[in-house]
């Protein structure tokens, strides 16, 4: 069975939800937003139209973006009105299980039973939320990242009962916005925030140990391994560096930090069988042969990123004498900012 998605309701029109609504509206879908009350929804709608015009003025989006958003983005006086007759619902309310459960009950009571129902949860297991629904087979995670108009990746998270046709429909709707999707199995934190939170915790530990300041940790991250991440994920990076090198590194780290930084069996098995990555035998994802094009791409990518960063100049986050602090936008937000 194929499910066509032409109309979308976004429940929660704060910074995150509003950005998601803009993405769907720019793609030509009929989008209705609803927030805590009619006044908040209308204020969010006005803000989103202003933002769309500003994005286009700054040449951050394709020509016609503001007009497309204005033409396709609509408001409802209530959640129930917004979801009553749409093909897909995207819930973007605060990352609190109780709040989500309450909003989900209202959505299910008013929505069509065949509507695709996605949550933009950042960390909460989809299975846990699905347990309270009358139609769990229609439910899945559809996790955009902040700021939604500019971050290209979207996590599609299925619980064991998610209907395959629902998953495909959600993927197609998201891809219509120009995003790249990755389909995941349900596990708390999924991929994005499980990795992101792990990095932050280790970074905080380094600062607490007195190894480096928060500013210096950020400098190292963005100018070394973080510099590679716009182009390559951790598996390709490891394959290019040499899996035997990684195995040796894990041995040192385990000696000093214990089992949490020990070598996993999957890496040890590759090295034991002669798979060292690009330099010999291939690795996790990169074959051993024909990598001249990969090396050329890598070098070109890093050189161009260096030029871009030089053109942009340093990010205006300021410097601190203690823990790094950045300020969120002043306006209130009913949705998540994680990810």
Mean pLDDT, rounded, for 124-150: 97
Task: Find the range with the poorest average confidence among 78-87, 157-166, 243-252, 315-324.
Answer: 315-324
CB count within 10 Å of CB 24 equals 27
Inform me whether the pLDDT recorded for 155 exceeds 90: yes
Q: Is 74 a catalytic residue?
A: no
Mean pLDDT, rounded, for 148-174: 98
pLDDT per position as a tens digit, 103-130: 999 999 999 999 999 999 999 999 999 9
pLDDT per position as a tens digit, 61-97: 999 999 999 999 999 999 999 999 999 999 999 999 9
Write down the residue that tokens 């994680």 correspond to. Answer: 338
Cα–Cα distance for residue pair 28/6, rounded to 1 Å: 8
- pTM for the model stands at 0.91
Boundaries of every domain in the chain? 7-185, 214-312
Inform me whether the pLDDT recorded for 323 exceeds 50: no
Tokens of 333: 């937000």
Tokens of 55: 């994005």
Inform me whether the pLDDT recorded for 332 exceeds 70: no
Q: Collect all residues with Cβ–Cβ distance below 8 Å to 136 and sequence separation of at least 6.
A: 130, 159, 161, 162
CB count within 10 Å of CB 132 equals 14
So what's the pLDDT on residue 319? Answer: 59
Cα–Cα distance for residue pair 40/12, rounded to 1 Å: 10
Q: Can you tell me whether residue 246 is helix, strand or coil? A: helix
pLDDT per position as a tens digit, 257-313: 999 999 999 999 999 999 999 989 999 999 988 788 999 999 999 999 999 999 999
Inform me whether the pLDDT recorded for 327 exceeds 50: no
So what's the pLDDT on residue 336? Answer: 56
Q: Can you tell me whether residue 7 is helix, strand or coil? A: strand
Which of 156, 154, 180, 178 minimizes the C-alpha distance to 167? Answer: 156
So what's the pLDDT on residue 277? Answer: 94
pLDDT per position as a tens digit, 176-216: 999 999 999 999 999 999 999 999 999 999 999 999 999 99
Catalytic residue among 143, 159, 256, 275: 143
Tokens of 26: 């720019």
Q: What is the DSSP string of 19-76?
A: HHHHHHHHTT-EEEEE-SSHHHHHHHHHHHHHHHHHHHHTT-S-TTHHHHHHHHEEE-
Q: Do 117 and 79 form a contact (C-beta atoms < 8 A)?
A: no
Architecture of the domain defined by 7-185: 3-Layer(aba) Sandwich (3.40)
Architecture of the domain defined by 214-312: Orthogonal Bundle (1.10)
pLDDT per position as a tens digit, 23-66: 999 999 999 999 999 999 999 999 999 999 999 999 999 999 99
Inform me whether the pLDDT recorded for 175 exceeds 90: yes
pLDDT-derived band at 335 (thresholds 50, 70, 90) equals low
Mean pLDDT, rounded, for 315-332: 51
Mean pLDDT, rounded, for 217-236: 97
Element holding 140 (H helix, E strand):
strand 139-143
Rounded to whole angstroms, what are the CA distances from 180 to 145, 335, 339? 12, 22, 15
């Amino acid at each position: 069975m194929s499910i066509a998605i032409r109309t979308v309701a976004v429940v929660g029109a704060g910074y995150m939800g509003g950005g998601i609504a803009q993405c769907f509206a720019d793609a030509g879908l009929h989008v209705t937003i609803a927030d805590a009350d009619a006044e908040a929804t209308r204020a969010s709608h006005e803000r989103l139209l202003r933002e769309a015009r500003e994005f286009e003025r700054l040449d951050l989006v394709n020509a016609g973006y503001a007009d497309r958003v204005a033409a396709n983005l609509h408001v409802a006086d209530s959640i129930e009105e917004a979801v009553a007759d749409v093909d897909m619902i995207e819930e973007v309310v605060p990352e609190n299980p109780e709040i989500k459960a309450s909003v989900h009950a209202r959505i299910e009571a008013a929505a069509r039973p065949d509507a695709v129902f996605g949550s933009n949860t950042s960390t909460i297991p989809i299975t846990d939320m699905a347990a309270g629904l009358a139609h769990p087979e229609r439910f899945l995670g559809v996790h955009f990242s902040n700021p939604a108009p500019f971050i290209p990746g979207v996590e599609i998270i299925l619980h064991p009962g998610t209907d395959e046709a629902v998953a495909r429909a959600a993927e197609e709707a998201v891809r219509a916005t120009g995003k790249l999707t990755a389909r995941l199995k349900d596990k708390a934190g999924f991929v994005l925030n499980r990795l992101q939170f792990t990095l932050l915790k280790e970074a905080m530990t380094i600062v607490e140990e007195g190894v480096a300041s928060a500013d210096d940790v950020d400098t190292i991250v963005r100018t070394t391994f973080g510099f590679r991440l716009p182009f390559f994920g951790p598996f390709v990076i490891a394959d290019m560096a040499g899996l035997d090198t990684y195995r040796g590194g894990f041995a040192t780290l385990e000696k000093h930090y214990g089992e949490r930084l020990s070598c996993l069996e999957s890496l040890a098995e590759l090295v034991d069988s002669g798979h060292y990555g690009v330099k010999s035998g291939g690795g996790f994802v990169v074959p051993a042969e024909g990598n001249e094009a990969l090396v050329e791409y890598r070098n070109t990518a890093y050189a161009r990123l260096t030029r871009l960063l030089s053109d942009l100049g340093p990010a205006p986050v300021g410097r601190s004498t203690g823990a790094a602090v950045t300020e969120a936008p002043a306006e209130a937000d009913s949705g998540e900012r994680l990810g």
